Amino acid sequence: MNIDFSDIEYLKNPNGITLKADFKQFLLSLDVPTVIDISGKDQNRCRVIVTLLHGNEPSGLIAIHRWLTSHKELPTPETNIRFIICSVEAANATPLLSHRILEGGIDINRCFGSDNNKGYYQRAKIIEKIIQEVRPEAVIDLHNTSGSGPAFAVSSLLSTRGLSLTSFFCDAIILSGLELGALMEQDFNCPTITVECGGANDEQAHEVAYEGIEQIARCPSIDNFQQKKSVEIVYKPLRLELKQGKSLFYSTHNEGNDGVTLLAKIEQFNFGGAHKGQMLGWLDENGLDNLQLINESHEDVISEYFTVRDNQLVCATNLRIFMATPSYKIAKNDCLFYVVNRTGTSIV
């Protein structure tokens, strides 16, 4: 598929005909990344909501379309809102909303903040510019988790406004020290959070995204907003990754595979974490050398978090696990899951 990475479409206060009858019809009507500008009561301020950086994470799109079409007339938020629908080509590939990226493509959420000006990096730069030009007072990037699990937010910086934004959607935020080239890591001179709304097939995830948009639209001032619920802060998780060339499998029992075999129901640990001694899968004779867990100092600290019992992969301490996924492609090409020592949390 030939892609013009410079092509962007703009819609301003679109009518019902443009928005179509449902979110799928609307998505199919889009050919390229699309910006939807909604005029607010205060047109001197703007909030930005981004979605579909990954083409198989639909909750943001579903929620945006629902918010735009739930009433007879287009809603009028307290401030202008700029919606940015990104990886339209991947989302529209058959089957609809099942491709994270196009075949042969790269993850655009690893392309931000780069000096590269070609391909997906060019598109990332354009999206950054589209956000910067409205001088936003908040940027929210809506995603789905790669496996089922509760909603949580992620941010590179901690602030009272960031906590307020988080409380619109969920009750936990991860303070990340990782530098991956994600949109969330860019400086837009305002609080920027990623919201992982839950699994792509979970109705509750779509509801999380919708309720968050609804509250943001009705909030006159983020600065003066009083949190309605406490937010748990999870500090600086690490990415458990396969080493280059290692094999990955999923199973309910030990099959003697090479490399790493994770429990088939690994995503269950997204809900409650894993205690010391918990078995997560099996390893071949190379043990922990199949895996790496790199901290901010670029040290491999795998043995501080995991150990081997016989040939089982076992937690060496009480852990909080995020984004554990049964998707082979995501786990192999991105990471198996994110992990933090359970002492690394606080509630505000």
> Is the pLDDT assigned to residue 300 strictly greater than 70?
yes
Name the residue among 129, 1, 130 with its Cα closest to residue 55: 1
- What span, in angstroms and rounded, lies between the C-alpha atoms of 253 and 250? 9
Q: Are strands 238-242 and 248-251 parallel, antiparallel or unpaired?
A: unpaired
Q: Which of 33-47, 274-288, 323-337 has the lowest mean pLDDT?
A: 323-337
99-146: pLDDT as tens digits: 999 999 999 999 999 999 999 999 999 999 999 999 999 999 999 998
pLDDT tens digits, one per residue of 258-267: 999 999 999 9
Model confidence at 342: pLDDT above 60: yes
Cα separation values, 110 from 116, 138, 153, 189, 280, Å: 12, 21, 18, 20, 28
Q: Is the pLDDT of residue 285 over 80?
A: yes
CA atoms of 85 and 32, how far apart (whole Å): 9
Contact 318, 275 (CB under 8 A): yes
Q: Which two tokens stand for residue 304?
A: 């501080």
Tell me, which fold does domain 9-235 have in CATH? Aminopeptidase (3.40.630)
The single residue listed with the structure tokens 């949109």 is 183
Q: Are 37 and 79 in contact (CB under 8 A)?
A: no
Q: Hey, what are 181's tokens? A: 């080239």
Running DSSP on this structure, what letter comes out for residue 314?
Answer: E
Helix axes 59-69, 203-218, angle to 10 degrees: 50
Q: What is the mean pLDDT of the chain?
A: 93
Q: In what order do the strands lie in the sheet with 337-341?
A: 291-293, 238-242, 337-341, 319-322
Q: How large is the average pLDDT for residues 160-178?
A: 91
Rounded to an integer, the average pLDDT of 153-157 is 93
Quote the CA–CA distance of 97 and 57 in Å, as a whole number: 7
Taking residues 279-306, what's their average pLDDT? Answer: 95
Type of residue found at 308: V
Per-residue pLDDT, 236: 85
Q: Which SS3 state, helix, strand or coil, does residue 259 take?
A: coil
Decide if pLDDT at 344 tops 80: no
Q: Model pTM greater than 0.75?
A: yes
Does 158 or 216 have the greater pLDDT score? 216
Contacts of 253 (CB under 8 A, 6+ apart): none
- Residues forming CATH 3.40.630.10 domain(s) in the chain: 9-235
* Region of 189 on the Ramachandran plot (φ > 0 left; ψ -120 to 50 alpha; else beta): left
Could you give the CA distance from residue 290 to residue 246 in angstroms, rounded to a whole number? Answer: 6
Count other Cβ atoms within 10 Å, centred on residue 286.
13
Give residue 345's pLDDT: 53
Give 122: exposed, middle or buried? Use CB within 10 Å, 0-12, 13-18, 19+.
middle
